[in-house]
Chains A and B, each alone.
Chain A
Amino acid sequence: DADVTQTPRNRITKTGKRIMLECSQTKGHDRMYWYRQDPGLGLRLIYYSFDVKDINKGEISDGYSVSRQAQAKFSLSLESAIPNQTALYFCATRRTGDSGELFFGEGSRLTVL
């Protein structure tokens, strides 16, 4: 089993629907991240969390919200999905400190029609 698990892996939805992407990890890391990748482009940070009570906005947080339900779980919500949120979404984790290596989940491909 993967150390960083994302669900769903693929989702097609309609404009205006609420969508939740979930991420769970078994690595025992306290830091978790959500990234977005558009076709042919790099990774952009949506939100990140250093622990259960510490959540921070990234460079493109508008239209998204997050919840850190436990150290191992970090979910991303689109309250009212729109077509330009069609993208590949990645969850990532890292342990605290300067030397923690970042690990990614397998990605969630979201299509908003």
Chain B
Amino acid sequence: GIQVEQSPPDLILQEGANSTLRCNFSDSVNNLQWFHQNPWGQLINLFYIPSGTKQNGRLSATTVATERYSLLYISSSQTTDSGVYFCAALFSGNTPLVFGKGTRLSVIA
């Protein structure tokens, strides 16, 4: 069936380190998004990236649609980057987005 899998499930980093989060999806997608859930529970849109590469400050994302994966890069991590990162994929315009289970990131000072 349609699946979105994220890895790793948990990640602990020292402040200043870099990291790569991965999202694999089981079929071709029309839409791929990355979200950050901060420790207060808010879900924040990071990237809308069905293909290609985008950058926003210390964060960047790349989706290789033909190989069915997306990567989220966090450089020079800060404690405020802590939280859970979700990717979500839209496989068809008439279905809801399918969410991965998330990667829980803890950045330690």
Contacts and interface: CB of A to CB of B under 8 A. Distances in A.
A binds B: yes
Interface of A: 33, 37, 41-43, 45, 48, 50, 58, 88, 90, 94, 96-104, 106-107, 109
Nearest to A40: B104
Contacts of B75: none
Contacts of A99: 30-31, 50
Interface in B36-74: 41-43, 45, 48, 50
Nearest to A42: B101
Interface residues of B, number: 21
B43 A42 contact: no
B43 A101 contact: no
B99 A58 contact: no
Given A97-B93, A98-B31, A106 B42 contact: yes
Nearest to A88: B41
10 contacts: A42-B99, A42-B100, A90-B43, A98-B30, A99-B30, A101-B31, A101-B48, A102-B45, A106-B42, A107-B41
A37 B101 CA distance: 11
